[in-house]
Amino acid sequence: MQDRPPSDNLRVGFGTDIHRLVTGEGVKLGGVLIPCTYACVAVSDGDVLLHALIDALLGALALGDIGEHFPHSRVASGEDSRVLLAQILNLVHANNATPVNVDCVVDLEVFKLAEWKPKIRDSIAGLLGIDPGRVNVKAKTAEGLGPVGAGEAIAAQVVALLALGAKNG
């Protein structure tokens, strides 16, 4: 029988999310509350970045999507998405996998994310239990196009690489 190639121990996943923006007192991104005059419409705390990250982790292990694991009927109003991520990370570890690195994009027109990116990166690294050097956070505007460009929405995309058989913790 042929040995498995080393790359067979790696799994890549991709996740996206988008939430409507309304007038409010802050937006949660990557587990960080950013005070501003906007808020995301959501059942949970509306953290698009953590929701996209959850879908990327699930995708890497062919474990479905966030809606299957957390249907709206089972999510408390305003629920902290860090709690949801912790549950999915437990599932990742139970599948003998561990995150290697993640690359994140936030699409946002209504305020600049530059000063928040290091804090968001550190937050995600802490939540995943990996070095901040394994987390990248990018911010883009939509050049005035579409719902993000109109300031009506905030979106995120995340790619996550997982290693199988790696020691957890």
| Site residues, Mg ion (CB under 5 A) | 17, 51
CB closer to Mg ion out of 4 and 72: 72
CB closer to Mg ion out of 79 and 122: 79
CB closer to Mg ion out of 16 and 136: 16
Q: Which residue has the CB atom at the shortest distance from Mg ion?
A: 51
CA distance 132 to 126: 8
Q: How near is the Cβ of 128 to Mg ion at its closest, in Å? A: 18
Q: Which helix (H) or strand (E) element contains residue 86?
A: helix 81-94
Task: Enumerate long-range contacts of 62-71, CB under 8 Å, 24 or more apart.
Answer: 63/91, 63/95, 66/15, 66/17, 70/44
Q: How near is the Cβ of 21 to Mg ion at its closest, in Å? A: 13
Q: How near is the Cβ of 153 to Mg ion at its closest, in Å? A: 11
Q: How near is the Cβ of 44 to Mg ion at its closest, in Å? A: 7
Considering Cα of 52, then 14, then 145, then 143, what sign does the dihedral take?
Answer: positive
CB closer to Mg ion out of 45 and 109: 45
E strands, the chain, are 10-23, 27-29, 32-34, 38-40, 97-107, 135-140, 153-164
